[in-house]
Amino acid sequence: MPKIIRSIDDLTPDDQNANIGTVRGLAMLEDSLSSYGAGRGVFVDNDGRIIGGNKTVQAAADAGIPIQVIQTDGTQLIVVQRTDLSIDSPAGRSLAIADNRVAELDLQFDPAIIQQLQTDGADLTEFFTDDELSALIAETRVIEYPAPPASDEPAASRYTCPYCGAQF
């Protein structure tokens, strides 16, 4: 029998989440939730442990956003319909870009967790080539994007790339 989930406090982060995220990605996620609200769901197991959306749950909890639980056995695609938004509005277009850009910027694999998952018997070859997996596990440098400065502007407009100097 699945655990009854009534609030965000009933959810448990994945203690082996391979994505440690980035400061910049989390800032953009928080800005997106504050500016546009939730755009997509997260998913949990039958005990309320987060499978996908650890950073989103963290940011939503910080923003005080409540949850609505839809139970499924995985045989149907759950569609989130925003009744307050049109894709042709500036907010709709911004949310579409934010959804993709946050996913891109907030992904940083933890080599130690990837190696532990592999040691524990997880077959990661369907997600990574052998070369990618070897390079990832050998990676010791953690790229941490600096936190954007405090400002009333969205995080995306306050970031300067430390490598190329591009303004975001």
Confidence at 139, pLDDT banded by 50, 70, 90: confident
- Residue 23 CA to residue 25 CA, distance in Å, equals 6
- Grouping H, G, I as helix, E, B as strand and the rest as coil, residue 135 is helix
**Matching residue, tokens 């018997």:** 121
- Residue 13 CA to residue 53 CA, distance in Å, equals 9
pLDDT value at residue 161:
44
- Grouping H, G, I as helix, E, B as strand and the rest as coil, residue 26 is helix
**Does position 109 have pLDDT exceeding 50, yes or no?**
yes
Q: What are the pLDDT digits (tens) for 48-93?
A: 999 999 999 999 999 999 999 999 999 999 999 999 999 999 999 9
Q: Phi/psi zone of residue 14: left (φ > 0), alpha (ψ -120 to 50 degrees), beta?
A: beta
**Matching residue, tokens 């982060």:** 13
pTM score, whole prediction: 0.77
